[in-house]
């Protein structure tokens, strides 16, 4: 009962990969090193370009500032372009400086808020040099104990800081505002949910949009509902894809719950967000124990499979079943699409485009990992726990 996705529909998929996925990362227990880890942003881009070269799915790379800091941004941009990719979203960082112990944009001290706003203005300068469109703001702000600070006053300070940053973004820029329900703050987070992000984005204006990170919800949250609602409201700016078993695990997207990923993509397509450059699909993952470039290849392929399954949904039959209130048939049509083995179709699709049918095997056979392990001695830098 499933339908066959068209090559044009499959080709609308674009996924941005994060520079930090290629650096070493870990937990508070241990950061394990991996041979061949990039030593600087130039090498991270070289790794990211391998993902795109083998899959054709990942043409842009998100940066994290100042994890990614170079003297010559123009040189980094040209390097990316020479490798066949482009620089993407710039992520700010207000969570690794002692001054931000009690928050950044919502901090009670105006001096610290000033510093946090200035950091974002610096990110905007970087965006001019990199040609990036999106400034992504994720805040660690919040409190650990009831009474520690005024929840309400923090919202007011946050709104004021955000509006100062927003006033500095250009007409071609966007501010995308991410929410997270807990961690590192444990009692309250200043932007805990999509509603709070939405409220701030609406107050800011047209070019402020919500970022939905799939790992940032309480267990059991119906994420596809949030996708549907934000698309309805024209405020879904970007996804951060990853998987969670317990909390913000940052594991490979589609690894923990491929059915949830499928349901999310079904709503993305239904709401007109699929293939719309205004709904940026980004990975936000860390590969703590697995090889990083293959981890990213697996991730983009998992998203591609979810998209192909969702495009296999027989919309017409589903519309009829829904109109007839035929609950079981509607659910069966949905499950038929999910159960479709799209791997042969995708292999064929890649071959038709001159890409390897099996990008993972092709990459592993290319000798790239062995080569960088020999060349890059001392690469421990980048990202979480570095």
List contacts with ligand PSV (CB under 6 A).
91, 138, 178, 180, 213, 240, 248, 284
Tokens describing residue 43: 């090498």
Question: Which residue number has the CB closest to ligand PSV?
Answer: 138
Check: CB of residue 211 under 8 Å from CB of residue 169.
no
Cβ-based nearer residue to Mn ion, 179 or 262:
179
Q: Which residue in the set 43, 284, 305, 336 belongs to the binding site for Mn ion (CB under 5 A)?
A: 284
Minimum CB–partner distance for residue 288 and Mn ion (Å): 14
Element (H, E) at 296: helix 292-311
Minimum CB–partner distance for residue 149 and ligand PSV (Å): 21
Tokens describing residue 313: 């949904």
Minimum CB–partner distance for residue 256 and Mn ion (Å): 14
User: Cis peptide before 183, with omega less than 30 degrees from 0?
Assistant: no
Cβ-based nearer residue to ligand PSV, 197 or 312:
197
CA 134 to chain centre: 12
Minimum CB–partner distance for residue 35 and Mn ion (Å): 27
Cβ-based nearer residue to Mn ion, 190 or 213:
213
How many residues of this chain interact with Mn ion, rule: CB under 5 A? 4
Site string for Mn ion, 171-210 (x = CB under 5 A): ----------------------------------------
Residue 189 binding target from ligand PSV, Mn ion, none, CB below 5 to 8 Å by type:
none
Minimum CB–partner distance for residue 284 and Mn ion (Å): 4
Cβ-based nearer residue to Mn ion, 13 or 139:
139
Stretch that binds Mn ion, among 53-61, 161-169, 236-244, 347-355 (CB under 5 A): 236-244
- Give Dmax (Cα) for the chain: 64
Q: Where are the alpha helices (DSSP H) in the chain?
A: 7-10, 41-55, 73-82, 110-130, 151-166, 194-204, 223-232, 258-270, 292-311, 315-323, 327-339, 343-352, 359-365, 368-375
Burial class (CB within 10 angstroms; exposed 0-12, middle 13-18, buried 19+) of 316: exposed
Minimum CB–partner distance for residue 216 and Mn ion (Å): 6
| Terminal Cα-to-Cα distance of the chain (whole angstroms) | 50
Check: CB of residue 166 under 8 Å from CB of residue 159.
no
* Number of separate helices (H) and strands (E) present in the chain: 14, 10
Cβ-based nearer residue to ligand PSV, 105 or 311:
105
Cβ-based nearer residue to ligand PSV, 193 or 213:
213
CA 159 to chain centre: 24
Residue 91 binding target from Mn ion, ligand PSV, none, CB below 5 to 8 Å by type:
ligand PSV
Torsion sign (Cα): 345, 349, 351, 352: positive
Of the candidates 263, 296, 82, 282, the residue with the CA atom closest to the CA atom of residue 174: 282
- What is the C-alpha separation between 194 and 272, in angstroms, rounded? 19
Minimum CB–partner distance for residue 213 and ligand PSV (Å): 5
Q: 3-state DSSP call for residue 321?
A: helix
Minimum CB–partner distance for residue 295 and ligand PSV (Å): 15
Q: Which residue in the set 43, 248, 305, 336 belongs to the binding site for Mn ion (CB under 5 A)?
A: 248
Q: Is 213 in the site for Mn ion (CB under 5 A)?
A: yes
Q: Is 240 in the site for Mn ion (CB under 5 A)?
A: yes
Residue 16 binding target from Mn ion, ligand PSV, none, CB below 5 to 8 Å by type:
none
Of the candidates 50, 14, 112, 38, the residue with the CA atom closest to the CA atom of residue 383: 38
Cβ-based nearer residue to ligand PSV, 209 or 349:
209
Cβ-based nearer residue to ligand PSV, 93 or 366:
93
Check: CB of residue 140 under 8 Å from CB of residue 178.
no
Q: Which residue has the tokens 């499959």?
A: 10
Residues that bind Mn ion (CB under 5 A): 213, 240, 248, 284
């Amino acid at each position: 009962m499933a339908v066959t996705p068209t090559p044009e529909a499959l080709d609308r998929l674009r996924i941005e990969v994060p520079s930090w996925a290629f650096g070493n990362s870990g937990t508070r227990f241990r950061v394990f090193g991996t041979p061949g880890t990039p030593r600087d942003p130039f090498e991270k881009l070289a790794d990211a370009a391998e993902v795109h070269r083998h899959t054709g799915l990942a043409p842009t790379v998100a940066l994290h500032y100042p994890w990614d800091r170079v003297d010559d941004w123009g040189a980094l941009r040209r390097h990316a372009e020479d490798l066949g990719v482009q620089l993407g979203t710039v992520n700010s960082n207000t969570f690794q400086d002692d001054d931000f112990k009690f928050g950044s944009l919502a901090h009670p001290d105006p001096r610290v808020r000033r510093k946090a706003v200035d950091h974002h203005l610096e990110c905007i300068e970087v965006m001019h040099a990199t040609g990036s469109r999106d400034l992504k703001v994720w805040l660690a702000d919040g409190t650990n104990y009831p009474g520690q600070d005024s929840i309400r006053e923090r919202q007011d300070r946050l709104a004021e800081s955000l509006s100062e940053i927003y006033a500095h973004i250009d007409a071609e820029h966007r501010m995308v505002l991410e929410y997270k329900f807990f961690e590192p703050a444990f009692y309250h987070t200043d932007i805990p949910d999509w509603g709070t992000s939405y409220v701030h984005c609406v107050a800011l204006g047209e070019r402020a949009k919500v970022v939905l990170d799939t790992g940032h919800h309480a267990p059991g949250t119906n994420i596809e509902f949030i996708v549907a609602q934000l698309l309805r409201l024209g405020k879904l700016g970007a996804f951060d894809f990853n998987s969670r078993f317990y909390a913000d695990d940052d594991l490979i997207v589609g690894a923990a719950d491929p059915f949830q990923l499928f349901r999310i993509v079904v709503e993305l397509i239904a709401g007109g967000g699929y293939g719309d450059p205004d709904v940026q699909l980004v990975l936000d993952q860390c590969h703590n124990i697995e090889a990083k470039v293959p981890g990213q290849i697996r991730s983009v392929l998992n998203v591609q499979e979810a998209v192909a399954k969702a495009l296999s949904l027989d919309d017409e039959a589903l519309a009829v079943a829904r109109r007839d209130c035929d609950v079981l048939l509607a659910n069966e049509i949905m499950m038929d699409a999910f159960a479709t083995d799209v791997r042969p179709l995708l292999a064929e699709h890649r071959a038709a485009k001159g890409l390897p049918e099996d990008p993972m095997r092709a990459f592993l056979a290319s000798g790239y990992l062995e080569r960088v392990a020999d060349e890059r001695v001392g690469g421990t830098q980048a990202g979480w726990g570095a």
